[in-house]
């Protein structure tokens, strides 16, 4: 995690983000079911803070999102980066973010939350969502209600408590990120079970 902390600073520099900006991130399909409108409306409620919202991905709602961003006058604060094919560059986005926003009832076990955790970036998910079952609020992530106000309130609170973000990010990295060696052990055990079960028939 300590090495990741240094990498986070380097990633913000590579992406041209100001040191005083709080960076928020969403990676995934740009569809309404993922709560993208909630995110944009939450940022609209944070105009008094140096907050920048980065979207990575694409989907049917991109045009509506762009229109919404322009109508609210958020073009300098909210950026849509499209699909990023480079894993290294995508890692920079995960690392540069202070918080990963994922207000979705649509997902059940989103990989993006774990990818953010690998880089020490904690997520804000919806309370009582399936995606949030691995989150202990305030320990390895944060839980919000399904409203822009709730998301904005949590971001505002954490803007004033960067130590909390770092502590929860460390816990997210320790509890949500899994090394390939662990995953392969699970895969091997599953295959062994299938082979043995098939052999008994």
- What are the φ and ψ backbone dihedral angles of 103, each rounded to 5 degrees? -85, 70
174 to each of 116, 117, 122, 169, 179, how far by Cα in Å? 12, 8, 11, 9, 10
Task: Judge whether 124 and 100 are in contact, CB under 8 Å.
Answer: yes
Only one residue has tokens 């990989």, namely 111
Sheet holding 78-80, edge to edge: 78-80, 51-56, 22-27, 99-102, 123-126, 142-144
pLDDT, tens digit (0-9, with 9 covering 90-100), for 39-86: 999 999 999 999 999 999 999 999 999 999 999 999 999 999 999 999
55 to each of 29, 77, 130, 178, 200, how far by Cα in Å? 10, 11, 22, 25, 50
Angle of helix 87-96 relative to helix 2-14, nearest 10 degrees, comes to 100
The answer, yes or no, to whether residue 5 has pLDDT greater than 90, is no
Percent of the chain at pLDDT above 70?
94
* CA distance linking residue 22 with residue 156, whole number of Å: 10
pTM, to two decimals: 0.87
Beta strand residue intervals within the chain, DSSP E: 22-27, 51-56, 78-80, 99-102, 123-126, 142-144
Q: Which domains does the chain have, with CATH numbers?
A: 2-199 (3.40.50.2000)
For residue 179, name the pLDDT band (cuts at 50, 70, 90). Answer: low
């Amino acid at each position: 995690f300590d090495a990741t902390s240094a990498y986070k600073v380097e990633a913000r520099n590579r992406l041209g983000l100001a040191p005083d900006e709080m960076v928020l991130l969403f990676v995934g399909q740009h569809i309404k079911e993922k709560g993208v409108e909630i995110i944009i409306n939450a940022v609209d409620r944070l105009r008094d803070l140096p907050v920048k919202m980065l979207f990575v991905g694409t989907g049917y709602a991109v045009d509506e999102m762009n229109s919404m961003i322009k109508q609210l006058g958020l073009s300098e604060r909210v950026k849509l980066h499209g699909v990023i094919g480079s894993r290294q560059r995508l890692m920079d986005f995960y690392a540069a973010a202070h918080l990963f926003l994922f207000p979705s009832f649509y997902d059940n076990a989103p990989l993006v939350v774990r990818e953010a955790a690998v880089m020490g970036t904690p997520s804000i998910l919806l309370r009582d969502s399936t995606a949030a079952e691995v989150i202990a609020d305030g320990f390895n992530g944060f839980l919000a209600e399904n409203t822009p106000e709730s998301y904005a309130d949590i971001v505002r609170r954490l803007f004033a408590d960067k130590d909390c973000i770092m502590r929860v990010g460390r816990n997210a990295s320790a509890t949500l990120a899994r090394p390939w060696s662990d995953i392969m052990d699970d895969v091997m055990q599953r295959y062994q079970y299938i082979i043995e079960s098939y052999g008994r028939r």
